[in-house]
Chains A and B, each alone.
Chain A
Amino acid sequence: MFRFHRVESIKPWTIIATRVISVVAALALGALLFAAAGYDVPRLAGDVMRGSFDNMFALEDLGLLVSPLILTGLAAAVTLRIGLWNIGGEGQFYAGAIAATVIGLEIHADPALMLVVLGAGGFLGGALWILIPALARAYLAVDEIITTLLLNFVAILFVNYLSTGPLRDPGQAVTSATARIPYDIPTLVGDLHWGLGVAVALAIVIALILAYSRWGYEVRLAGANRFAAHYAGIPVPRRLLQTMLLSGGIAGLAGMLEVTGTVHRLQGGISNNFGYLGVMVAVLAGGQPIGVLPAAVLMGIILNGGIVLQSYGVSIYQVLALTGLILLFIAVGEQLAYYRIPHMAQRPTR
């Protein structure tokens, strides 16, 4: 009979290895299911990889998916650092997009200056969207998971209202889009805009703040043990509030970059579930800002692969189910990593 032995702590590389194994195992199970459904899995896999890496256009498309995923992943990751879940990245993304669109359509000024203004507007829009859940969490201990989640639906409906109502561009054939925003994020290469650079830089900056600032230490301490943080003299509610506002702002910035860099107008569904997928990215990254970068790339490949797979008649929901499977495997793997099966042969050391 196997007897599992729980160990108290595991090494960082074990955590990373576990995570990689979990992702591979989830993909393998997904491949089996696709094979059972009659798909030619090797060909599918080849096409998915080609869809992301075959040529410059494919890489640009991948980059356009990865940039918002980094930011929404980062938004979820900063709240994880203080022990909270921001499930409302989707709503904050839209709020940022709305703020940027309204400002961009109404105000006409120097384009370089306006991009800064739009960025600030997007950040503030996202922060404003999380303000009520954040205040309720920090000062009244109201569960932030429910409140942030529910506000997503409000934001989505609000975008639909704006894009089909007051902000609808009557000159357009499409009935649910605003006019083109007259300010564009400069492009990096081809269609890929500087949003990617902003996202990567922000991930690095946040990582540095957490590791090398007093504020970052306080946030990490409050996340590791709220009682100990209070004991250490840290104003814990204020840090909870600040962290959540930062998180909402980052998600809002992602929305702003999407409307000014990629879509150029506000319309329903622009978020592509980036907000929700950001939570997955953050979990994949173990809540570490730098880990968000590879996690976002992996998620980008899966999403990009989803677009390819849809041409084979695979529905987007099957692809999303695959991402759910990865999350499940990571959660299970994280627990299993703490267990060892003692070898009978090694008795003296056990």
Chain B
Amino acid sequence: MSAAPARNVVELIGITKTFPGLVANDAINLELRAGEVHALLGENGAGKSTLMNILTGIYQPDAGEIILNGAKVRFTSPMQAIAAGIGMVHQHFKLIKAFTVAENIHLGWNETPRRVNAGELERRTTALAERFGLEVRPGARIEDLSAGEQQRVEILRVLSRGARVLILDEPTAVLTPTEATALARAVREFTASGYAVIFISHKLDEVLEIADRITVLRAGRKVATLPAVECTHARLATLMVGREIILPHSREEDAVHRPGSVVLQLSGVSTFNDQGVPALNEIDLDVRAGEIVGIAGVAGNGQRELTEVLTGIRLPTAGEVRVRGKSMNGASPAEFLQAGIGHVPEDRLRSGLAPSMAVADNAVLREYRKPPIARGPLFIPSAVRKLARRIVDDARVIVPNMRAPVRNLSGGNQQRLVARREMRVAETALVAAYPTRGLDVGAIDSMLRYLIEIRDRGVAVLLVSEELEELLSIADRVAVMFQGRIMGTFAARHAEAEQIGLLMGGHAGAMPTEVAA
């Protein structure tokens, strides 16, 4: 596909950008050719976002230059970059949910007619959609669209403004496998008509599949730019992390592992989400002592509510939650804690941590009621610091100062802190939602090892994840969620990623196979 060296559309030469105490980009060179998909691969904090923010005019580099179609350019604002034909689709869509697709396409665009009506905007949108081969529904409101459809609107908006260079920031993070395939096809079509695409990701498989060339960044430096055909999974992982990574394959090591009695039991559980919309629909699920049950599915299909009814944060409106056979209906989060259930919540900053409070205060959030921290009604700060130090050390969190607010820690460190804190209290079960989200490859590895470790101690683990590979490698059973229902449960060793992928997208055509554990 990239056999004949095409001309360079964009050249970044010696781009350097420093923030206080951090070199985000260190003399990075990058060439983007017309008609290629160029993947930008790296761990969190490797400098991918900074580099793209420089290319799109959000940041100014401290040193280095940007050459666009052979001419040196300087963008002092994102508007200038857009005018020069560089468009970016951010990971978090910048669409107005209450507006229609047509309205979003025409918002803040100087080619929008001065006098508009809905019909005219929709006609123009249809014409644009045909021109770029992106199927959208012009009259639909954004909030009614799936993530994949919203993404197409974003891409159409960028292309309609004349972008020749399209930057996609982790575009598949929110998509079902089917939607991801459709995106890959669309990306292929862009490049075939001469556009250049920068594809930011940390998923090795999809990068290998879609990219022509791959540039790996590590700790602010460029490690290599390689043709995708010369790369393997292992080679890329090693380049990214700087050492070899072996994902734990618990199945082979532990073929004779036998789970114990049912510890967590949901029967016919339904509940609403925060908007009052049904989010769980008569869920039946058992988790046994000493087994990991994975929950697969695209985020937003009831996973959050599932973890919340299992930890007392949300009350079921129907059905029953049992812990070790005891009904927990109406039980408070404190009672679930007493029953030995740890909870790594989905959004740690919103519900798992108090961002403005000290690291130490956050570390003891689950154990402050017990001695040595509590002595009668008293709260003993010296004991708090001691326990916090232990948790922080166990979690290998780098903390400059235990009194520093926890929001000063990096996302990965916050995640490790929460996970370790919850594992300490998870005597019966651990409910972990996306525990590896935001972690780099090395940290994912140790997080999964922790989960296996506590499973082997006889704790029941419910693991919610978007990473199928992760689920299949460590879970004993995998249940697929779609629109508040469990579409099917599989023994992980028999499960096929493709079938799970179809169920994640709600394709009931793939018949769920119930397999006894």
CA distance A32 to B8 in the complex (A): 62
The 0/1 profile, CB within 8 Å of B marked 1, for residues 221-260 of chain A is 1001101111111110000000000000000000000000
Q: When A214-B369, A220-B357, A221-B365 are in contact, do A231 and B351 touch as well, CB less than 8 Å? A: yes
The answer on a CB contact under 8 Å between B377 and A213 is yes
Query: Judging by beta carbons under 8 Å apart, are A233 and B352 in contact?
Result: no
Chain B residues with CB below 8 A from A217, complex form: 361, 368, 379
The yes or no answer to A55 lying at the interface (CB within 8 A) is no
In the assembly, what is the distance between CA of A162 and CA of B404, in Å? 52
CA distance A2 to B405 in the complex (A): 29
Instruction: Verify if A311 is at the interface (C-beta below 8 Å from B).
Output: no
Complex Cα distance, B377 from A235, in Å, reads 16
A232-B366, A349-B18 given; A225·B378 CB < 8 A = no
Contacts of A227 in B (CB 8 A): 350-351
Contact B408 A8 (CB under 8 A): yes
Minimum C-beta distance from A201 to chain B (A): 19
**How would residues 342 to 359 of chain B score, 1 for a CB under 8 Å from any chain A CB and 0 otherwise?**
010100001111111100
Closest B-chain residue to A348, C-beta based? B18
Contacting residue for B20 out of A215, A228, A349, CB 8 A: A349
Q: Is A136 an interface residue (CB 8 A)?
A: no
Which residue of chain B lies nearest to A229 when distances are taken between CB atoms in the complex? B354
Contact of B357 among A7, A211, A221 (CB under 8 A): A221
Contact across chains for B361 and A350 when beta carbons are under 8 A apart: no
Bound CA–CA A213/B380 (angstroms): 8
Interface centre among B333, B355, B379 (most CB of A within 10 A): B379
Neighbour of A225 across the interface among B20, B312, B353, CB < 8 A:
B353
Judged by a CB distance under 8 angstroms, whether A335 is at the interface is no
Contact B357 A230 (CB under 8 A): no
When the two chains form their complex, are residues B408 and A224 in contact, meaning their CB atoms are under 8 A apart? Answer: no
Nearest B residue to A210 via CB reads B379
B-side contacts of A229, CB under 8 Å = 354
Chain A proximity of B234: nearest CB distance (Å): 36
Interface membership of chain B positions 397-433, coded 1 if the CB is closer than 8 angstroms to chain A and 0 otherwise: 0000000110110000000000000000000000000
State in angstroms the CA–CA spacing of A8 and B356 once bound together. Answer: 11
Q: Which of A214, A215, A348 has the most CB of B within 10 A?
A: A214
B313 within 8 A of A: yes
A212 at the interface (CB under 8 A from B): yes
Binary contact track B3-24/A, C-beta < 8 Å → 1, others 0: 0000000000000001110000
Determine the chain A residues whose CB is within 8 A of the CB of B377 once the complex forms.
213-215
Report the separation of the CA atoms of residues A215 and B374 in the bound assembly, to the nearest whole angstrom.
11
A215 to B379, CA, bound (A): 8
List residues of A (186-235) whose CB comes within 8 Å of B's CBs: 211-217, 220-221, 224-225, 227-235
Residue B300 is within 8 A (CB to CB) of chain A in the complex: no
Q: Which residues of B contact A235 (CB under 8 A)?
A: 332, 334
Q: Does B206 contact A (CB under 8 A)?
A: no
Most buried by B among A215, A217, A235: A217
B381 at the interface (CB under 8 A from A): yes
- Chain A interface SS verdict (over half): helix
Q: Which residues of B contact A350 (CB under 8 A)?
A: 18-20, 62
Report A-chain residues with C-beta under 8 Å of the C-beta of B368: 214, 217
What is the CA–CA distance of A198 and B405 in the complex, to the nearest angstrom?
33
Q: How many residues of A contact B (CB 8 A)?
A: 27
User: CA separation between A214 and B332, bound complex, in Å?
Assistant: 18
Instruction: Check A232–B333 contact: CB distance below 8 A.
Output: yes
Task: Choose one: A8, A212, A214, A230; the contact of B407 (CB below 8 Å).
Answer: A8
A228 and B333: CB pair below 8 A?
A: no
Docked CA distance A8–B335 (Å): 36
B333 touches A214 (CB 8 A): no
The reply to whether A224 and B356 contact each other, CB–CB distance below 8 Å, is yes
State whether A9 touches B354 (Cβ < 8 A).
no
User: Nearest-CB distance from B87 to chain A (Å)?
Assistant: 24
* Residue A108 interfacial (CB < 8 Å): no
Which of B337, B350, B355, B356 is close to A233, meaning CB atoms less than 8 Å apart? Answer: B337
A43 at the interface (CB under 8 A from B): no
Chain A residues with CB below 8 A from B311, complex form: 231
Q: Which of A90-137 contact B (CB under 8 A)?
A: none
* Nearest-neighbor residue (CB-CB) of B366 within chain A: A232
Q: Assess whether A214 is in contact with B353, with CB atoms less than 8 Å apart.
A: no
Q: Which residue of B lies closest to A224 (CB)?
A: B354
Residues of B close to A230: CB separation below 8 A: 313, 333, 351
A contact residues around B369 at 8 Å (CB): 214, 233
Verify B313–A220 contact, CB threshold 8 A.
Answer: no
Given contacts A224-B354, A227-B351, A228-B351, contact A233 B361 (CB under 8 A): no
Contacts of A220 in B (CB 8 A): 354, 357, 361
- CB of A343, distance to nearest CB on chain B (Å): 12
Which interface residue of A215, A220, A221, A233 has the most chain B CB atoms within 10 A? Answer: A233
Query: Is B381 touching A228 in the complex (CB atoms < 8 A)?
Result: no
For A9, list chain B residues within 8 Å (CB).
Answer: 404-405, 407-408
Q: How far, in angstroms, from A9 to B404 measured CA to CA in the complex?
A: 9
Nearest-neighbour CB distance to chain B for A296, whole angstroms, equals: 25
**A233 and B379 contact, Cβ closer than 8 Å, known pairs A9-B405, A9-B407, A228-B353:** no
Please encode chain A, from 3 to 16, with 1 for each CB lying within 8 Å of some chain B CB and 0 for all others: 00001110000000
Q: What chain A residues lie within 8 Å of B312 (beta carbons)?
A: 233
Chain A nearest CB: distance from B333 CB in Å? 4
Query: 18 A-B contacts, Cβ less than 8 Å apart?
Result: A7-B20, A8-B407, A211-B379, A211-B381, A212-B380, A214-B374, A215-B377, A217-B368, A224-B354, A225-B356, A225-B357, A228-B350, A228-B365, A230-B333, A230-B351, A231-B352, A347-B18, A350-B62
A8-B408, A225-B350 known; 7 other A-B pairs, CB under 8 Å?
Answer: A9-B407, A212-B381, A220-B357, A230-B351, A232-B333, A233-B333, A350-B20
Which residues of A approach B to under 8 Å, CB–CB?
A: 7-9, 211-217, 220-221, 224-225, 227-235, 347-350
The 8 nearest A-B residue pairs measured at CB: A233-B334, A224-B354, A225-B354, A227-B351, A233-B333, A224-B357, A232-B365, A217-B379
